[in-house]
Structure 1
């Protein structure tokens, strides 16, 4: 398979990236050329974001966590050392590396160090466990994993053991902290050899692999290219009016698309802003950090934003320096948006986006009516959106339907997932989002999007997208379960909580026993049920499928 760059630069030497392009779906050459002509794509490698920041603002603080901070120059030099050390260990350009670190400065070091070695990070989340990590390793062909030692009582070194045992290609496990019998991250950081000389980066190939929300089965891998991700981070920061005077708080898991590049850590770097990392999202801890570092911008999921707003009624230290709070992950009602806008920060930016690419968000200066009643408008003038009915026909302007999208930063196919791609993309390259929306046709909201529901069977719990069908497969595996349905129940703080409606073969088990079983199967912590509802039978539709609407109706009465 050839990339747009290879088509554009026929006859030029191309960088050797191993088997990275196997299973990668590139942008079509005509659209790639169009995005270059428009100035969106600049053919810069993703790590140039840090290199440029270090050149422009060497002594400005880049990242801070409770234990350490680095200036842009220090972070740049540390990334070089890590990159050189990884190359010295035999990792080759194009190799994939599972990156699973918490919200600490070393996350930024690892990300850029991996990029400096021309490796491709797979952005795993702290809550992922063996089921997901083994899947990511197998699909990506990862040769290494980077993990912490122990966080919140969970020993990631045991997870690394499991990965090495089950994936012959995965030869390296680097541990930040006490490495045990694995390789020491500290030793990498102390390496003093030079970075090897490499050919120029092909900016049309994958820079990193994000993980999907897992709408069907295990999460899929999303290949984001250097060109599209640099464009995303830089443009979103500009559209948010961010400057070097801003301080961004990374409170959601940093491997998520939202706090990583929308504008997040990377977007903040493009304007010379400082990023503060925290692993404690509680209002008490977060408000203290915001006050100490005079944080001005942060990104939250709806549930967390409501908790913070409520806490403003009693916390002694308030987040008075915040100028804007970005909220995404699930749709807010107008009442929720007004509550957050009036109680937490003077600015609210609703974001409707996806790791697959497409971003809609409200802008600074938008009327309050638009901010509280819409989920924004597209980031790019070249974002293409269609709203279609069940037959695939476009609906009249202003009416509801499924959102289909393509554009300069939306993927053209999941990584090494042909069956999923056949379902998820139209023949002309539009991504089927699975979200039900309307695009306002006139008035002050014209061109803005309202999310009205979803088509895919997913649960939005605290900003995480949980596949109901994948969880049901795990539930069915329990010997006591005869039938099961995973459904969403409304929750004031999580948005939706996960309910396992189960028909047992005999005596029922407890929720704790069920979640212990899921833990043993390596199911992510955020995918485990909050509620267990034993039922005598599951209601069915006329065609024999489980009627989940009736299940929810029975449970909420």
Structure 2
């Protein structure tokens, strides 16, 4: 049985096919094309290892065949959590070939997030790494089985000789096994290929079904705009599972172009500078906090960066002052990106005037991206005025997975998705992001759902009220502050962070600051007035500067 999802209306689907956006090809076609054109070209460099496109094809066939022998079938689902290494993309390609739809959890995600994903998709397969503490023994696997009785097979990436929990497969063994004539069975192009993760503004992580047709178009169009080629040498330093890293144009875009991906464990400047120099990297996507760190270290390492041609910046608002420094101090072109895992992607173009690149987040990449900027009454705002972003198009989804109530809140009757972003649009269609309607904190590109942390804090016996809000930060863009009313006057921030860690919260979601208050401000209808809290924090931050 195929995975249920909200499909595009027939008339729009027909339009997208007629215009050549949707090719009705599964994304396995990406690798097939490179096998036809340049099978021996390097696809991934990972540490001292090099993988050609032919090796990616062989290894992903082996893994798909091994999983098929374990009973995995088309339309099954998988929960995957792997670090930034070649195995992440080999696994992704293998699951595409097998027709199994994965959720790719970030390596920073912990128990809370993984259990939530497992509850939603009921995976038959889990693939993890013993580099992560959750998979160091079998305890967490037992928890997964409790919430997902559908779980049939577990595969772990582990160092040679490491002891695995009982009945777990070793990823390396499956990659080494011959495929023995395995024939891929991808899902049809109009079906779910995998699930992307929403940053979310509610306590429950939401999943985004992405079909082969819509995602493959997004990648191909990104390659055209960004002008990738077989000469592209792309540094993958951001989390591999991020939509930005995968498809804007991302690693999949590099594969479409026949270029080479160089894996980095994270965007730490000195390690990345060494990889750039060694492999003559010419294309790097970053988030604003990473750019700030690179700018700090670049003066004494400028010669090592001579191969760089483009640095993309996305994932969070990028301060104009920092944007203007990139060409001069890093010696390459800046491209701004404003996109979302739900679909819409905007780019500044490589031939745009510098002023447009420094001051906007780009314009939509597809001629059929429909954009509306609306006021709170659902009416269009005048050009250049801020309003809520609403969009639909050939690669913007039509509904979160199994979330009818939330979908009713974020989609209008015409199928336009309200992202929660506040934007201004100029006469040329370029967008400038000026804020956000959603109750969400964007901490250097990592999205924190305030309600999720609040709900956990309110479970603490010493807390009576809690509100988590954003506070401005020069490096991260935003950090989080937990404003709490405590019944226990001895309660300290360190104890609350320890408590949240014990609940399995990812480190980036831990509040950067705790503000203890006698009471929380309320609106006229009795709701917590978060705007007043934000204003107070911003005023406090301004006074400190």
What corresponds to 1:381 in structure 2?
367
Residues 60 and 72, structure 1, Cα contact 8 Å, conserved in 2: yes
| SS across alignment from 2:497 | helix
Match of 1:163 among 144, 166, 169: 144
What corresponds to 1:356 in structure 2?
342
1:502 aligns with 2:488: no
* Cα offset, 1:316, TM superposition: 7.2
* Cα offset, 1:473, TM superposition: 0.8
**Structure 1 length as normaliser, TM-score?**
0.92
Q: Distance in 2 between matches of 1:544 and 1:67?
A: 60
| SS across alignment from 2:391 | strand
Q: Distance in 1 between matches of 2:205 and 2:330?
A: 33
**Structure 2 length as normaliser, TM-score?**
0.94
1:452 aligns with 2:418: no
CA separation of 1:156/1:42 partners in 2, compared to 1, >3 Å: closer, same or farther? farther
1:180 aligns with 2:155: no
CA separation of 1:198/1:338 partners in 2, compared to 1, >3 Å: closer, same or farther? closer
* Cα offset, 1:195, TM superposition: 5.5
1:312 aligns with 2:298: yes
**Which range is displaced more, 176-185 or 58-67?**
176-185
Residues 437 and 451, structure 1, Cα contact 8 Å, conserved in 2: yes
* Cα offset, 1:317, TM superposition: 6.1
What corresponds to 1:5 in structure 2?
none
1:20 aligns with 2:3: yes
After TM superposition, the structure 1 = structure 2 runs for residues 202-221 of structure 1, keeping only pairs within 5 Å, are 202-221=188-207
After TM superposition, the structure 1 = structure 2 runs for residues 85-484 of structure 1, keeping only pairs within 5 Å, are 85-151=66-132, 155=136, 158-177=139-158, 178=162, 179-181=164-166, 182-194=168-180, 196-197=182-183, 201-315=187-301, 318-441=304-427, 446-484=428-466
Structure 1 stretches of 4+ with a deviation exceeding 6 A read: none
What corresponds to 1:4 in structure 2?
none
* Cα offset, 1:157, TM superposition: 5.6
Q: Distance in 1 between matches of 2:2 and 2:145?
A: 20
Residues 326 and 332, structure 2, Cα contact 8 Å, conserved in 1: no
* Cα offset, 1:101, TM superposition: 0.5
* Cα offset, 1:19, TM superposition: 4.4
Q: Distance in 2 between matches of 1:206 and 1:103?
A: 24
| SS across alignment from 1:381 | coil
The alignment's C-alpha RMSD in Å is 1.8
| SS across alignment from 2:337 | strand
After TM superposition, the structure 1 = structure 2 runs for residues 29-48 of structure 1, keeping only pairs within 5 Å, are 29-48=10-29
Q: Distance in 2 between matches of 1:509 and 1:367?
A: 54
What corresponds to 1:56 in structure 2?
37
**Which range is displaced more, 314-323 or 270-279?**
314-323
1:546 aligns with 2:532: no
| SS across alignment from 2:299 | coil
Residues 149 and 157, structure 1, Cα contact 8 Å, conserved in 2: no
Q: Distance in 2 between matches of 1:186 and 1:377?
A: 43
**Which range is displaced more, 238-247 or 504-513?**
504-513
Q: Distance in 2 between matches of 1:415 and 1:277?
A: 31
Q: Distance in 2 between matches of 1:29 and 1:248?
A: 37
* Cα offset, 1:525, TM superposition: 2.2
CA separation of 1:156/1:229 partners in 2, compared to 1, >3 Å: closer, same or farther? farther
* Cα offset, 1:340, TM superposition: 2.5
| SS across alignment from 1:98 | strand
| SS across alignment from 1:150 | coil
1:490 aligns with 2:498: no
| Structure 2: gaps of 5 or more residues | 541-545
* Cα offset, 1:162, TM superposition: 2.4
Residues 59 and 90, structure 2, Cα contact 8 Å, conserved in 1: yes
Q: Distance in 2 between matches of 1:508 and 1:311?
A: 42
Deviations 1:181-230 (A, max 9, x none): 32211221122243555667410111110010021222211011001111
| Structure 1: gaps of 5 or more residues | 1-17
* Cα offset, 1:554, TM superposition: 3.4
Deviations 1:391-448 (A, max 9, x none): 111122222210100000000011111111111111111001100111102xxxx211
Q: Distance in 1 between matches of 2:274 and 2:490?
A: 45
